Amino acid sequence: MKRVAYIAAIAASLIASPAICSEPPASANMLTQGMVQMTLKVGATTQYQVLETFGGPNVSTLDGEGNEVWVYDRFATVSYDKSSGFSIGMLVGAGGGDVAGGAGLGFGTRKSRSEQSSRSMTLIIKFGPDKRVVDFKSRSSSF
């Protein structure tokens, strides 16, 4: 009974935890071509909105005209491993007294498959003096 009460107390504390109940923070995973097209509007989107959606840039600099330029450069690798197969084994042993006996038989097959893919995304955003997007370029590739 004490164990059930202990588990219930842990579950209640996890449910009440602000980290679980709150909204997840902006993440680098939000940097996709679709999110770029949906979020960035020339003359309308502010630096603050960009930060909320994509997080901080990898590089922040000024161009020759004094406009602030942010560069986002993300790279992800996805690995997939799968193995399947079967094996059958049998061990027979008999003995009596001080004599031990045994025999064994086993066979099987196993298949393994591994795949890996990579994805990169580069986004360059130029801001005007009013801290709104004046231009942006993006490029993504998968291989």
Structural domain range at position 39: 26-92+108-142
Look at residue 69 and tell me if it is in a domain.
yes
Please give the chain's pLDDT, 143 residues, in tens: 555 444 444 444 444 444 433 344 444 457 888 889 999 999 999 999 999 999 999 999 999 999 999 999 988 887 877 776 666 665 555 555 565 555 555 666 667 778 888 888 999 999 999 999 999 999 988 88
Tokens of 86: 């079967």
- Residue range 119-128, pLDDT digits in tens: 889 999 999 9
Look at residue 13 and tell me if it is in a domain.
no
The pTM score is 0.57
Look at residue 70 and tell me if it is in a domain.
yes
91 neighbors 68 (Cβ within 8 angstroms)? no
**Domains in the chain: how many in total?**
1
Look at residue 7 and tell me if it is in a domain.
no
CA distance 105 to 85: 18
